[in-house]
Amino acid sequence: MSQTKEEILKLLFQHKETFISGQAICEQLGCSRTAVWKHITELRKEGYTIESVQKRGYKLLEAPKRLTKEEVLANLNSRYFGKVIDFHEVVPSTQKIAHHLAEDGATHGTLVLADEQAGGRGRLGRVWHSPKGTGIWMSLILKPDLTINRIPQLTLLAAVAIVRSIKKVSDVDCSIKWPNDILFEGKKLVGILTELQSEMENVRAVIIGMGINVNIEWADMPAEIRDIATSLKIITGKTQSRVMLIQTIMTELEKLYDLYLNEGFEVIKPMWETYALSIGKVIRARTMQGEVLQGVAKGINNDGVLLLEDDQGVVHHIYSADIEI
Ligand code: BTN
């Protein structure tokens, strides 16, 4: 889409309930009335219903149901998270693209967003089912000035931001299973995959991949995940706005990230613990080395590491594992 058309669409989304005059559009974008008319005509052909009334201007009545970056950008209140969006109808994985963009100098806060992923990936090399038009599949590129050992904290911070955003937008209360699963009544709603680009001890970029099952129907889930996954639509019985959820996540995430930079993980930790599912419960941790540890989850330490106390009273530090509750 041309830059001017993108900007016109953004203005129409921003004035969704009201008219915006052709003159105001021309002045804000520095283009001619003919150019505005040409782009409005094109937008109509693309499925946007735009009313035009003499002396009042243009009003967006309805947008096609598909996800667009203009709609996300139109009312995005963050300062830098999601302010640059690399949008794709379909990609193998937003994570892969984000890695390339980060290497090519993408700015802090750039968001890679897709309507569908053909090869979505989860933790431990698993597949992440990412069908068209029903979820949020996105990867946020951060360029933090942090040491490597602090990066796992960002996953926990992202989980808090997402849980809060889901509550705000859909009024659904979810829980977090360490480190990065967001569950509703024991079923997975969101997965977070944090990946790193580093050189020795220096972090070059962090990619936070977020997969959120928003409007996927139970019947459309692959059989192997039907009993373990859920979606906001299944939970609430209503179609939920992906745009509002993306916007809210970007602002919440940015707010928490700023807080974290100013005050450290100490302020995020208690927030995370309020939503944590496993604290105080007996859990089983299957580590990456294939070791299985059973004990009570005592909480997380200031590095975001899970503390598990076995029946001998030994406290194990769990850096990465699959948790069974
Ligand atoms: C998990 O295993 O729980 C993490 C799943 C992360 C999925 C998201 S969807 C957007 C981004 N692109 C990917 O390929 N994966 C992440």
pLDDT in tens, 28-44: 999 999 999 999 999 99
Give the distance (Å) from ligand 1 centre to CA of residue 117. Answer: 10
Alpha helices (H) along 30-150: 33-45, 69-74, 94-103
CATH of domain 3-62: 1.10.10.10
The answer to whether residue 250 scores a pLDDT higher than 90 is yes
- Given a cut of 90, whether residue 122 has pLDDT beyond it is yes
Who wins on pLDDT, 62 or 134? 134
- pLDDT score at 188: 97
Specify burial of residue 304 (Cβ count, 10 A radius: 0-12, 13-18, 19+).
Answer: buried
Model pLDDT, residue 69: 93
Distance CA 145, CA 281 (A): 35
By most ligand atoms within 8 Å of CB, the mutation choice from 86, 180, 188, 193 for ligand 1 is 193
Between CA 279 and CA 198 the distance in angstroms is 32
- Is 109 strand, coil or helix? coil
| ipTM attached to this prediction | 0.99
Pocket lining: 110 vs ligand 1, CB cutoff 6 Å: no
Beta bridge partners of 114: 88, 137
Q: How many CB atoms lie within 10 A of CB 87?
A: 19
- pLDDT of 18 above 80: yes
Q: Which among 85, 96, 130 is the best mutation to test ligand 1's pocket, defined by most ligand atoms within 8 Å of the CB?
A: 130
Determine whether 4 is exposed, middle or buried from the number of CB atoms within 10 Å of its CB (0-12, 13-18, 19+). middle
Kindly tell me if the per-residue pLDDT of 19 is higher than 80. Answer: yes
Q: Ligand 1 atom 3: the closest Cα is on which residue? A: 191
Instruction: Please tell me whether 123 is known to bind a ligand.
Output: yes
Residue 1 has pLDDT above 80, yes or no: no
In the chain, helix, strand, coil percent, each to 5? 35, 30, 35
Q: Which CATH class is domain 278-324?
A: mainly beta
pLDDT attached to residue 235: 97
pLDDT of residue 6: 87
Report CA(125)–ligand 1 centroid distance (Å): 10
Domain residue limits, the chain: 3-62, 69-274, 278-324
Residue type, 290: G
323 Cβ below 6 A of ligand 1:
no
pLDDT at 259: 98
CATH number of 69-274: 3.30.930.10
| Whole-number Cα distances in Å, 185 to 106, 189, 231, 270 | 38, 10, 11, 22
pLDDT of the residue at 210:
98
Query: 207-227 burial by CB neighbour count: b if 16+ within 10 A, else e?
Result: bbbbbbbbbbeeeebeeebee
Query: What percent of the chain has pLDDT above 70?
Result: 100
Q: What average pLDDT is seen over the chain?
A: 93
Q: Is 109 in the pocket of ligand 1 (CB under 6 A)?
A: no
- Residue-wise pLDDT for 309-324, tens only, equals 999 999 999 988 888 8
Per the annotation, does 121 bind a ligand? yes
